[in-house]
Amino acid sequence: MSQQTSSPRVERRRQATLLEIRTTARRLLRKHGPTGVTVNAVAREMGMSGPAVYRYYASHDALVEAVIADFYQELATTMLAARDACSPEHPGRRLLSTCRAMRTWAIDHPSEFSWMFASPVMSTVRQDEESPRQRAGQQFEKVFLDQLVDVWERSPYPVPSFDDLSPSIQRQMTDYSARTNSTLPPEALHLFMSSWIKLYGLLCMEVLHQLDFAYSDLEPVFEENLHELCTMHNLTYEPAPSR
């Protein structure tokens, strides 16, 4: 009887410790970079022993998986909030707000963004098993993809002919469509991927300061990409609100 009564309390304590471990790891990441996030370093910060931390996360990789999953969830939540602040009757405005929120979060959290995207960490989790990081990453991906699906279902727009795509792209997009159970045809998915590659590529280069030799302000370049995105998907581009 007492064991059943105390079980929820024990679980709450466990969840609180798990969160503290991940929060400490994030603080170390921002202060020292990825190499500073070790199990022993986290343990020292928390006044614990390394073996005690391993009772919560079985390995360094497991801890990294969980921390990066948190980042994906935080970013996805930020993007969804920006999307939902706009009326569903304005899909272009919703997509633009989503993309701008993604850029703002990335710029404000360069260490987290770099760990998520620019410095992939090999996991001990087998590829045929879903890790927390993979699941959270898939949810993040759907934030962008689902909006373009909504745009397509409202009003299909011109896309490259499937037969004009290379056989390799045809095969890969057909597989991707089946894997994601998407209602977008493969040729529209290829257009989606082209849009994502441009946005993501520019954002990575901005966060990693790879374009500092030419640009001191990449916001107008990002807006140019958003303008192109709207043109590709038959949406109305609206400039960012004045700040």
Q: Flag whether pLDDT at 16 surpasses 60.
A: yes
Confidence of residue 242 (pLDDT cuts 50, 70, 90): confident
Q: What is the pLDDT of residues 21-33, one digit of tens each?
A: 999 999 999 999 9
Q: Which of 57, 78, 95 is the last residue of a domain?
A: 57
Task: Verify that 200 and 126 share a domain, yes or no.
Answer: yes
CA–CA gap between residue 80 and residue 51 (Å, rounded): 38
CA distances from 69 to 27, 153, 205, 206 (A): 15, 30, 22, 22
Task: Verify that 23 and 83 share a domain, yes or no.
Answer: no
CA–CA gap between residue 114 and residue 235 (Å, rounded): 30
Task: Verify that 118 and 205 share a domain, yes or no.
Answer: yes
Determine, yes or no, domain membership for 223.
yes
Task: Verify that 102 and 40 share a domain, yes or no.
Answer: no
Range from 2-6, 54-58, 168-172, 208-212 carrying the lowest mean pLDDT:
2-6
CA–CA gap between residue 37 and residue 44 (Å, rounded): 11
Which has more pLDDT, 124 or 176?
176
CA distances from 208 to 111, 115, 195, 203 (A): 10, 11, 20, 8
Note down the domain range covering 169.
61-232
Q: Does residue 237 contact residue 226 with C-beta atoms inside 8 Å?
A: yes
Determine, yes or no, domain membership for 50.
yes
What is the average pLDDT score of the chain?
Answer: 89
Determine, yes or no, domain membership for 241.
no
Task: Verify that 6 and 30 share a domain, yes or no.
Answer: yes
Task: Verify that 119 and 70 share a domain, yes or no.
Answer: yes
Give 117-137 as a DSSP string.
IIS----SS-TTS--HHHHHH
Task: Enter the tokens of residue 66.
Answer: 């969980």
Confidence of residue 129 (pLDDT cuts 50, 70, 90): low
Task: Verify that 43 and 72 share a domain, yes or no.
Answer: no
Q: What is the pLDDT of residues 166-183, one digit of tens each?
A: 999 999 999 998 888 888
Closest to 65 (Cα-Cα) out of 4, 110, 118, 132: 132
Question: What CATH number does residue 136 fall under?
Answer: 1.10.357.10
Cβ neighbours of residue 221 closer than 8 Å, sequence gap 6 or more: 202, 215
At which residue do the structure tokens 């070790």 appear?
38
Determine, yes or no, domain membership for 4.
yes
SS3 166: coil
Closest to 138 (Cα-Cα) out of 37, 233, 69: 69
Task: Verify that 131 and 205 share a domain, yes or no.
Answer: yes
Q: Does residue 94 contact residue 86 with C-beta atoms inside 8 Å?
A: yes
Structural domains counted in the chain: 2
CB atoms within 10 A of CB 90: 14
Q: How confident is the model at residue 221, as a pLDDT?
A: 97
Question: What CATH number does residue 40 fall under?
Answer: 1.10.10
pLDDT > 90 fraction of the chain, expressed in percent and rounded: 74
Count, residues in the chain: 243
Task: Verify that 139 and 193 share a domain, yes or no.
Answer: yes
Q: How confident is the model at residue 128, as a pLDDT?
A: 40
Q: Which of 19, 42, 57 is the last residue of a domain?
A: 57
> pTM of this prediction?
0.88
